[in-house]
Amino acid sequence: MSAERGSERSYMGATAEESWYGADIERVVVTEEQIRDRTAELAKQVAAEYGAVPGVLLVCVLKGAVMFMADFARALGRLGPPVELEFMAISSYGQGTTSSGVVRILKDLDRDIAARHVLVVEDIVDSGLTLSWLLRYLASRSPASVEVVTLFRKPDAVKVPVPVRFVGFDIPSEFVVGYGLDYAERYREMPYVGVLKPEVYARP
């Protein structure tokens, strides 16, 4: 019993130092608790705005938004309206840390979105180039409405004005990892969001 409690405590209170990625993180930008609280607030806001519609089609942009999609959908599920989940994978970043503006569809929608209320679930809006392309793409498929909820936004980096209806956190214009966000496909499993130490980028 006490051993169980001990392991539970060490899991729940897992610090950066105890994890493999902890040594690579220079600074935590948004904590796990802040993400949880803000996700609940965003769900309340969305539920209030979509109260009158029969359902919302959540479109998750893989892979970065996968953690937020899972937590946001569950938070919204408690409040309604009913949701359906769709996934798209598009690519605008290679292995680097700056947006190319060149977007490629890696996985398209599985169903028709005509006449549906679509809510795009994004991880982060940086330059806005990816999202602006995606919104044009979705609008061409005649949905009833398209809005965006993003967990993070970097306001300084906005090159293209994109309408983002719901924003979790405005964060500084620096490259962050965690909670779905990666650097070279790593760090997505971190429960919080942080900045990497400079030496991580210097590794071969």
Q: Contact positions toward ligand IMP, by CB under 6 A?
A: 61, 64, 92-93, 99, 122-131, 175-177, 181
Rounded to the nearest whole angstrom, what is the least distance from the CB of residue 53 to ligand IMP in the complex? 26
Nearer to ligand IMP, 69 or 125 (CB): 125
| Residue 119 CB, nearest approach to ligand IMP (Å) | 16
Q: Give the DSSP letter string of 130-172.
A: HHHHHHHHHHTT--SEEEEEEEEE-GGG--S----SEEEEE--
Residue 4 or 128: the one with the smaller Cβ distance to ligand IMP is: 128
Alpha helices (H) along the chain = 2-12, 32-49, 66-77, 129-139, 198-202
Distance CA 202, CA 197 (A): 10
Please say if 71 is a catalytic residue: no
**Given 112, 126, 170, 182, the catalytic residue:** 126
Residue number with CB closer to ligand IMP (143 or 178): 178
The least CB distance from residue 17 to ligand IMP, in Å, is 22
Rounded least distance, CB 25 to ligand IMP, Å:
13
The answer to whether the beta carbons of residues 91 and 56 sit under 8 Å apart is: no
Question: Which residues, 6 or more positions from 110, have their beta carbon under 8 angstroms from its beta carbon?
Answer: 86, 87
- Collapse the DSSP code of 108 into the 3-class scheme (helix H, G, I; strand E, B; otherwise coil) and give the result: coil
Cβ proximity to ligand IMP: between 97 and 145 the closer is: 97
79 SS3 class:
coil
Active site residues per annotation: 126
